[in-house]
């Protein structure tokens, strides 16, 4: 009974927070509602017994991604009124994508209700639980059966990070950039120019 109440509480707050993320006029409020949705999704993971995923969701998404969104929103001078002018233009596409996702969810839920034996087949194929923890089992699965895919994903993220750094630090005309090598190579006679100014006259 307590688990059911906790599930409905976390689920309701998560859905309400998701709606407020896209409906809030203030972008700072949208980021705060996004953080609230992440925390409630982490609570749902804890109820499912996936405490490792809940911790990753809080540490990575709330501690890094959402905070980064907050800094970007608060530091950049973005005209959000101008950005929201094209909201109605993309509303039909967004509604179509929402209908497709809703249809897929209905197919999954309907399949479970129409063929209850499918749930039994899934339960029979899952291995019996042992003394290993959820985090230990996940680590064994990733670093044994999917080690090459895991390394490939890491290489893709590394290439993306290097590409972002290269694009940011590329040479552009008209942009003044600090060159440490030239600053260290300067001599006092090149940096300072002494002028003898006569009394009553300027330079």
Cβ neighbour number for residue 63 with a 10 Å cutoff:
13
Q: How much of the chain exceeds pLDDT 90, in percent?
A: 7
In this prediction, residue 121 carries a pLDDT of 57
Judge contact between 34 and 66, C-beta under 8 A. Answer: yes
Closest residue by Cα to residue 46 from 38, 37, 55: 55
Q: What is the pLDDT of residue 151?
A: 92
Q: What pLDDT sits at residue 158?
A: 93
Beta-carbon contacts of 29 under 8 Å, excluding residues fewer than 6 positions away, are 20
Q: Is the pTM of this model over 0.75?
A: no
pLDDT of residue 137: 81
Say if residue 28's pLDDT is above 90: no
d(CA 65, CA 31): 10
pLDDT band at 202 (very low <50, low <70, confident <90, very high): low
Residue 152 has pLDDT above 90, yes or no: yes
% of residues, the chain, pLDDT over 70: 80
Q: What is the pLDDT of residue 57?
A: 85
The CA–CA distances, whole Å, from 17 to 22, 23, 71 equal: 9, 10, 20
| Domain parsing of the chain, residue ranges | 1-85, 133-173
- At 25, give phi and psi (nearest 5°): -80, -30
Name the range with the highest mean pLDDT among 72-81, 99-108, 115-124: 99-108
CB 6 within 8 A of CB 25: no
Q: Considering the chain, what is the average pLDDT of its residues?
A: 79
Q: How many CB atoms lie within 10 A of CB 35?
A: 20
| DSSP code of residue 49 | T
Task: Give the confidence band of 30 by pLDDT, cuts at 50, 70, 90.
Answer: confident
Using DSSP's 3-state secondary structure scheme, residue 197 falls into coil
**Would you give the DSSP letter of residue 60?**
I
The predicted pLDDT at position 116 comes to 63
Is residue 103 over pLDDT 70? yes
Given a cut of 80, whether residue 1 has pLDDT beyond it is: no
* Phi, psi angles (nearest 5°) of residue 183: -70, -40
Higher-confidence position of 40 and 193 = 40
pLDDT at residue 43 tops 60: yes
CB within 8 Å of 188: residues ≥ 6 apart: none
Q: What are the angstrom distances between the C-alpha of 151 and each of 52, 61, 80, 178, 199? A: 20, 21, 39, 36, 74
Closest listed residue to residue 42, CA positions, set 21, 22, 63: 63
CATH architecture of the domain 1-85 equals Up-down Bundle (1.20)
Q: What is the pLDDT of residues 165-191, one digit of tens each?
A: 887 776 767 777 777 888 888 887 777
In tens, the pLDDT along 46-65 reads 888 888 888 888 888 888 77
């Amino acid at each position: 009974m307590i688990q059911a109440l906790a599930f409905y509480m976390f689920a309701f707050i998560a859905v309400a927070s998701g709606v407020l993320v896209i409906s809030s006029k203030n972008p700072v409020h949208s980021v705060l509602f996004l953080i609230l949705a992440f925390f409630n999704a982490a609570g749902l993971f804890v109820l499912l017994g996936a405490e490792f995923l809940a911790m990753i969701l809080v540490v990575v998404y709330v501690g890094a991604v959402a905070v980064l969104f907050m800094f970007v929103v608060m530091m950049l001078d973005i005209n959000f009124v101008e950005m929201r002018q094209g909201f109605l233009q993309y509303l039909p596409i967004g509604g179509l994508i929402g209908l497709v996702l809703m249809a897929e969810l209905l197919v999954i839920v309907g399949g479970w209700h129409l063929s209850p034996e499918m749930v039994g087949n899934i339960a029979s194929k899952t291995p019996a639980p042992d003394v290993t923890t959820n985090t230990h089992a996940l680590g064994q699965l990733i670093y044994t059966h999917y080690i090459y895919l895991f390394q490939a994903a890491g290489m893709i993220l590394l290439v993306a990070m290097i590409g972002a750094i290269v694009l940011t630090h590329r040479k552009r005309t008209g942009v003044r950039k600090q060159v440490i090598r030239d600053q260290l190579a300067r001599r006092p006679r090149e940096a300072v120019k002494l002028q003898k100014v006569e009394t009553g006259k300027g330079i």
